[in-house]
Amino acid sequence: MKDASNGSGLAPLMTAWDVEHQIHLIVGANPLAAARCTKSLEAGAKPIIIAPETADMHFTLSEHIHNGSAQWVRREFQDDDLTTLGREEVDRVVDTVFVTVGGNNPSASHISKLCRRLRIPVNVSDAPELCSFTLLSTYTDGPLHIGITTSGRGCKLASRLRREIAAFLPANLGSAIDRLGAVRRKLWEEDNAAGLGERAPEGDDDDTAGQSHTFNTLVTEGDVAAAKTRRMRWLSQICEYWPLRKLVSITDADIDAILKAYSSGRDASQDVDGVNGVSKKGKIVLAGSGPGHPDLLTRATYNAIQSADIILADKLVPAPVLDLIPRRTEVHIARKFPGNADQAQEEFLQMGLAALKKGQQVLRLKQGDPYLYGRGAEEFEFFRGEGHIPVVLPGITSAMSASLFADIPATHRGVSDQVLVCTGTGRKGAAPNPPAYVPTQTVVFLMALHRLSALIESLTAYSTEESTRSRALWPKETPCAIVERASCPDQRVIRSTLEHVCMAFEAAGSRPPGLLVVGASCHVLHNPNGQKWVIEEGFHGLDELHGEVDTVLAPQE
């Protein structure tokens, strides 16, 4: 007896069965029986459960029985069940049998034998030698069904493979297949009505059909009939050659355009590349470009840079990142300066929208991470409101990477167990409330250096209006560091304490953009050892990775 697990090494014949209205006999009432029952119902079959009253009925089964979608025969299996419980039109022989009581159960091999004699497909759980067929691990998206079998060698691996394959496929593939299927049918009907196409649409009822040998043959001017079925040929070409990602973004309007081609007498061969007739829907990506060094871009953002039609970049996005933009791509840098931030933002939003309306791929490139003081969510809302939901890509934020490149561990056992990221500048330039002293906290202040002394003052002393002593003040000896132009060649770190940092910053002058890190963690790896401050110049964090430094970057400001 050949077993269905294919221990013989032969390939099983994989098929997709239409089992609507068929009778599926399920022997047993355990969780596996419940799973089989659900699968059968999904496929439109009518399950009959055979299990004695005493059996522990799985709750899903009880539910199916209760709502009438499955039938329960309350006793042990009897041989004549196979030939009496089936449909009338097939002389009461049941269509398929699932035995879920396990291969060791003596009834399992008995039922299997009977089924084989009666040519009834049978599946016995955990007993490949008793099965005439096995079930596949399946992935379903609308009309698309993918089934996997490892021939019983590893069902865990089969479900892993199913997940990996599913992850590889673009979302909405199922509905794209529906759409394209509908067009194919319609074209075929129209061509048929016009007496043009006697052939059924390619592979209509059998997905194994490959390309016909005429698939790519040139349609000559003299070949009138072939020329007239060009719409169908065009559709086949799309299905064969378009990248899946592009196929799934095909819209109803695109389909209409395909259908109308020819009825207007236009030569649709011009449409083969999808440029004419098929409108492109604009796409927007909102991406973070990291703290500065181009090697700190994510691959996703790098790819977005390479594929964008137009890039709208923040002023802070450093030149080496902008240098990665292909020469022909349109680039705009935000015209943000104090007092013009809102106008610059509005200008960018409108530019983005105009490009989207033209069907372009827009990349909104922001510094660091788009959702950390980057107004990213505002832009998301704006574009979503206009019907274009942005893809948002994270970036390495300066808040975490600047401290890292300054050898400051944001958390450190026994020193710091929490991190606070905040802004030194509130709305409309107002001073935000200073955070209370927490000895084990690392605090990172962005957008704070232009008002450093006021900030330090607010951390270490109460303001005149503050009467209640509700918050703890930061001791003047608290370590802190100013990190500027982190990850750029002209990176600078000033290590000091809250007491002396203002003096140090005044002496050194500012080199934006920069941030302030406060907390005991600042002195974990570098302690100024009694010096009021220490200044370190340059960025070498990635040198070792390059061997020779191959990215020599020019200072931006």
- What is the number of alpha carbons within 13 Å of residue 97 lying toward its C-beta? 34
Of 233 and 485, the one with the shorter C-beta distance to ligand SAH is: 485
By CB under 6 A, residue 292 contacts ligand SAH: yes
Q: How far is the CB of 369 from ligand SAH (least distance, A)?
A: 4
Q: Give the whole-angstrom CA distance, residue 45 versus residue 23.
A: 6
For residue 251, give every residue at least 6 positions away whose Cβ sits within 8 Å of its Cβ, in sequence order, or none.
279, 281
- Residue with smaller CB distance to ligand SAH, 19 or 454: 454
* Cα–Cα separations (whole angstroms), residue 459 to 403, 516, 550: 20, 13, 42
Residues sharing a CB contact under 8 Å with residue 410, sequence separation 6 or more, in sequence order: 400, 403, 404, 416, 419, 442, 444, 521
Interface pattern 382-421 for ligand SAH (x via CB under 6 A): ---------------xxx--x-------------------
How far apart CA 331 and CA 151 sit, in angstroms, is: 54
- Nearer of residues 35 and 372 to ligand SAH, judged by Cβ: 372
Joined together, the tokens standing for residue 535 give 């200044």
Which C-beta is closer to ligand SAH: that of 114 or that of 402?
A: 402
Selected from 120, 297, 372, 524, the binder of ligand SAH by CB under 6 A is 372
Instruction: Say how far apart CA 138 and CA 162 lie, in whole Å.
Output: 7
Return contacts of 417-426, CB within 8 angstroms, 24+ apart: 417/441, 418/442, 419/443, 419/444, 420/444, 421/372, 421/397, 421/446, 422/446, 423/373, 423/447, 423/448, 424/448, 424/449, 424/450, 424/451, 424/452, 424/455, 424/516, 425/450, 425/451
- Counts of helices then strands in the chain (DSSP H, E): 18, 18
Please state, in angstroms and rounded to a whole number, the distance separating the CA atoms of residues 433 and 423. 10
SS3 state at 130 = helix
- Does 519 bind ligand SAH (CB under 6 A)? Our answer is no
Which residue's CB is nearer to ligand SAH, number 248 or number 304? 304
By CB under 6 A, name the one of 108, 515, 517, 553 that touches ligand SAH.
Answer: 515
Residue 447 binds ligand SAH, judged by CB under 6 A: yes
- Report the residue from 49, 446, 520, 524 that binds ligand SAH according to the rule CB under 6 A: 446
Beta strand residue intervals within 246-282, DSSP E:
none
* Cβ proximity to ligand SAH, 368 vs 541, nearer residue: 368
The reply to whether 25 sits near ligand SAH by the rule CB under 6 A is: no
Kindly state whether residue 489 participates in binding ligand SAH, applying the rule CB under 6 A.
no
Which residue lies nearer to ligand SAH by CB, 292 or 434? 292
Q: Answer yes or no whether residue 500 interacts with ligand SAH by CB under 6 A.
A: no
Token digits of residue 7: 């221990």
User: Which one of the spans 146-154, 275-283, 350-358, 361-369 is the region binding ligand SAH (CB under 6 A)?
Assistant: 361-369
For residue 110, give the 3-state DSSP assignment.
helix
Rank residues 178 and 490 by Cβ distance to ligand SAH and give the closer one. 490
* C-beta of residue 221 within 8 angstroms of C-beta of residue 227: yes
Residue ranges in 77-116 that form contacts with ligand SAH under rule CB under 6 A:
none
Residue pair 140/116 in contact (Cβ under 8 Å)? The answer is no
Contact segment (CB under 6 A) with ligand SAH among 7-15, 31-39, 485-493, 522-530 equals 485-493
Among 368, 390, 434, 479, binds ligand SAH (CB under 6 A): 368
Of 194-202, 243-251, 368-376, 496-504, the segment contacting ligand SAH by CB under 6 A is 368-376
Nearer to ligand SAH, 25 or 483 (CB): 483
Does position 514 bind ligand SAH by CB under 6 A?
yes
| Closest residue to ligand SAH: CB criterion | 368
Q: Which region, judged by CB under 6 A, interacts with ligand SAH, from 112-120, 264-272, 455-463, 510-518?
A: 510-518
Options 123-131, 218-226, 326-334, 367-375: segment touching ligand SAH (CB under 6 A): 367-375
# binding residues, ligand SAH (CB under 6 A): 23
User: Cβ of residue 521: shortest distance to ligand SAH, in angstroms?
Assistant: 17
- With CB under 6 A as the contact rule, the residue among 513, 517, 518, 522 that binds ligand SAH is 513
DSSP run (H or E) holding 24 = strand 23-27
For the segment 465-484, give every residue that binds ligand SAH (CB under 6 A): 483-484
Distance CA 292, CA 488 (A): 6
Q: Residue 399 Cβ, how far from ligand SAH at the closest point, in Å?
A: 6
Distance CA 500, CA 531 (A): 10
Q: How far is the CB of 228 from ligand SAH (least distance, A)?
A: 57
Report the distance separating Cα 224 and Cα 19, nearest Å: 43
Choice between 133 and 371, CB closer to ligand SAH? 371
- End-to-end Cα separation, the chain, in angstroms: 80
What are 49's strand-pairing partners? 26, 72
Angle at 101 between CA 46 and CA 54, to 5 degrees: 85
Mask for 308-347, x = binds ligand SAH (CB under 6 A): --------x-------------------------------
Alpha-carbon gap, residue 93 to 86, rounded angstroms: 4
Closer by beta carbon to ligand SAH, 228 or else 336 = 336
Q: Which residues bind ligand SAH (CB under 6 A)?
A: 291-292, 316, 367-369, 372-374, 397-399, 402, 446-447, 483-487, 513-515
